[in-house]
Chains A and B, each alone.
Chain A
Amino acid sequence: MGAAVRAGGAIEPQGGIVGTIRYHQPTGADAVSQGTASNAGAPPHDAQIRVELLSHPTYISGVRELVSSICRRIGFPELCCGQMALAVDEALCNVMKHGYEGREDQPISIGMHVHEDKGGSDHSSIRIVIEDRAKQVDPKSICGRDLQDVRPGGLGVHMIREIMDDAVYEKREGGGMRLIMSKKNPSQGSSCGLAGGGQNHG
């Protein structure tokens, strides 16, 4: 199984291409620092880093490593880096399982836009956009289940919304869905701004 780098941003099935990573210099103002994902100034495709992959679960771990590494580089607390990677993992699982219904050869595109605070590390932020060509659903129907109802499944969307500052689903023009997520660097030492502190089990 090989990998290849190619130019171009459209998400199309590419036989034999299992993953593509592109970096480019951002242009214009930073969108993440201007507001939440839903009202960010830059369009979703204005990413500094773009990863294109097929909908095969093998590739999720690589994306997770990349997200975690970027968050660490811009000064996010360690636990938060892992949780950011988890949010992206959950989003990809949902696309593969529900969107593409287990088909492993369908296109997924991930765009990342980073704002790094050069003067410190606690005002950096990241916006992550995940796009697919899967069946479209009403964005309002995408919601986490009631946590009081303890049963397997239905936790992924809840995880994403708990971890990220903002997570918005929308239909893509021409087919497929788009998830726009953003996160500002929580204060150092916090557990990604989530309720609760360290371990208290036992």
Chain B
Amino acid sequence: MADGTLQVGFETQGNVVVVTPQGEIGYSEATVFRTWLRKAHDAKTPRVVVDLSKVDYMNTPGVATLVESLQIAKKAKTRLILCGMNEKVFAIFRIARLDTVFEITPTAADAIAKA
């Protein structure tokens, strides 16, 4: 499968890892995204923040990687926080009824500040 054109920022801020994908997260890109999310969990910080403010589009393979990431976080008793979703991306979570399953904040600053 092609890897697509997804670029991913990865940064540790204190006890928080911030993952910032940029571009589209579709069928092709989900595998790359999953690799970065696993790397974030491997850092074993109490919180992983996924900043989706630079994601223009996501489909269910992309959502599935985040569900998998949430399961890893729960198993490790850490937190996964999503932030910065645009209306189109948020609609997918709402349709899948995942908007109440994930911890979601408007911005990365909110997510990082969250106790």
What residues of chain A have their CB less than 8 Å away from a CB belonging to chain B?
56-58, 60-61, 64, 79, 82-83, 86, 89-90, 93, 96-97, 102, 104, 147, 150-153, 155-156, 158-159, 162-163, 191, 194-196, 198-202
Contact = CB atoms under 8 A, between A and B. Distances in A.
B101 A150 contact: yes
Contacts of A61: 24, 26
A202 to B, nearest CB: 4
Contact of A194 (B26, B59, B61, B95): B95
A162 B2 contact: no
Contacts of A194: 91, 94-95
Interface string B48-85: 00000000010111011101101100000000000001
A199 B92 CA distance: 11
Interface of B: 1-2, 4, 24, 26-28, 57, 59-61, 63-65, 67-68, 70-71, 85, 87-88, 90-92, 94-99, 101, 104-106, 110
Nearest to B68: A152
A60 B26 contact: yes
B106 A93 contact: no
Given A57-B26, A58-B2, A152-B67, 18 more contacts: A57-B1, A58-B4, A60-B27, A83-B91, A89-B27, A93-B60, A150-B70, A151-B67, A151-B71, A156-B60, A159-B60, A191-B91, A195-B94, A199-B87, A201-B105, A201-B106, A202-B104, A202-B110
A147 B26 contact: no
B2 A57 contact: yes
Contacts of A198: 87
Nearest to A200: B99
B64 A153 contact: yes
A61 B25 CA distance: 11
B95 A89 contact: no
